[in-house]
Amino acid sequence: MTTDEGATSSATASVVRTEASGDSGRVLLLGEIDHGAVDQLDQAVEKLLESGAIHLVLDFAGLNFFDSACISALIRAKTSAEERGGTVKLANVDRYARRILDITGLLGSFTIEGEESPSPRA
């Protein structure tokens, strides 16, 4: 397994870390992922995909805040992985993040780690 410490943005106190093993990769989101930090997420996903990791998990465990820029990045990650025959799952999605994904109509588009299929819409 390889690990990339990622970049830190002092303006938003955000960090994106990646882990890869074979065709699987994990992106750990820490702090705030907003318009000022979303490039970190995009770059991390692209780096994993370019390395051959097409089955990605985006881990919300350390995420304190995300906005529409992050939501757009989630959609880009899913599209890019699926274009390569891969998948994107979300992990450690708390009730607040789940609610935002539901309000935006995206909850049903993503599989939450530990669930067999995309989350049903409420």
| Domain contains 47 | yes
pTM for the full model? 0.83
Strand partners, 87: 55
- pLDDT at 14 (0 to 100): 73
**Band (115; pLDDT cuts 50, 70, 90):** low
| Domain contains 116 | no
What's the rounded Cα separation, in Å, for the pair 122 and 108?
9
| Domain contains 44 | yes
- pLDDT at 117 (0 to 100): 56
Give CA angle at 89 (86, 94), nearest 5°: 170
| Domain contains 58 | yes
Please write the tens of the pLDDT for every residue from 59-90: 999 999 999 999 999 999 999 999 999 999 99
- pLDDT at 16 (0 to 100): 94
In the chain, how many domains are there?
1
**Band (122; pLDDT cuts 50, 70, 90):** very low
Residue 86: CATH number of its domain: 3.30.750.24
| Domain contains 49 | yes
CA distances from 43 to 58, 89, 100, 116 (A): 13, 18, 23, 28
Reduce the DSSP state of residue 116 to 3 states and report it.
coil
| Domain contains 2 | no
| Domain contains 108 | no
Please write the tens of the pLDDT for every residue from 5-46: 454 443 446 789 999 999 999 999 999 999 999 999 999 999
Closest CA to 52 of 77, 20, 76, 78: 20
| Domain contains 24 | yes
- pLDDT at 15 (0 to 100): 87
- What residue numbers bound the domain in which 55 lies? 13-93
Closest CA to 32 of 52, 60, 3, 12: 12
